[in-house]
Every structure is written in C-alpha cells, then in structure tokens.
Amino acid sequence: MTLVCAPVPGRALPLAAVPDPVFAQAMVGPGAAIDPPAQVLDVVAPLAGTLVKVHPHAFVVRSDDGWAILVHLGIDTVQLGGAPFTVLVAEGSRVAAGGAIVRWDVPAVIASGRSAIVPVVVLEAPAEAVVPADSVTTQSPVTAGTPLLHLTPPPRPR
C-alpha cells in the first residue's frame, strides 16, 4: 500500500467539496482536498518520488511504484500568472515525502476572490484503488504530512 500525505495543513475534505466540477466530479482522478489556513505556506511533496511536472500553481509527483499525484494550489489560480507562488524545486528532481516544493501566499489567492482549496488527485487511477484516510471522511484538521489517501494495489508498470 502507498500512502499519500497532506501537502499543506488545513481541514481535510472529500474531493466532492471542491468548488470546481472537474475536480469535484473526479474527472481528473480520485482523491481528496484540503482547505488551508490563510497564511504563507510551504507546500510539500505528498510522497517520495520524482517531480515530473511543476507549474507555479500545481505539481505532479510520480512515486517509485508508479502512482502520479497532482497537487493543485487553489481553484483557477493559473489565471494569477504565478504571482502568489515561488517554485522551490526544479522539474525532474527527486523529492522526499514532506520536502518543500512551492512557497504559496494563500492570502493573495483569497484576496483575488479565488478559492484556496487544494485538490490532491491520483491521476490515471481507478476510484476503488484510492481510499480516503479518516481525516477526509470526518473533515478533520490535518498538518502537512498527515495521511490523506491510501493507494492499493500499485499501478501496472508502464
């Protein structure tokens, strides 16, 4: 089993609570979300692997066993042109679980009128392979590094 941890602190939410139908209806993939506090945050890798994609507002980490995890910082934040984000790690880098990837000015996103909710999505995964942790089902507070999703079994090799 692979464990995906919270990349930011906040309140864990089911993906259906995300105010964007693409995420809420799991069109990108199954997962969970976090409503973060209004402060500057270091967003961390949800698991160890390779940073295969990085944009100021989103990144994808692929684990050694093949899972690809998308962390999207807020909703419609691509329209902010990267202003509230500072990328700390280059695409293609190896990352440790809990290692900082992006520094994020959450209050700037909120001030722009956008949602700061963070979808954490397992790309190319069947829904039955992704089991939310208790924090998601109870919508409990989490810290960065708190278990968020359990993935089983590993995806087939490519």
Q: Catalytic residue numbers?
A: 72
70-97 burial, b for 16+ CB within 10 Å, e for fewer?
Answer: bbbbbbebeebeeebbebebeeeeebeb
The C-alpha atoms of residue 40 and residue 6 are separated, in whole angstroms, by: 16
Cβ-Cβ contacts under 8 Å for 41 (sequence gap 6 or more): 8, 9, 103, 104, 106, 144
Q: Residue 81 has what DSSP assignment? A: T
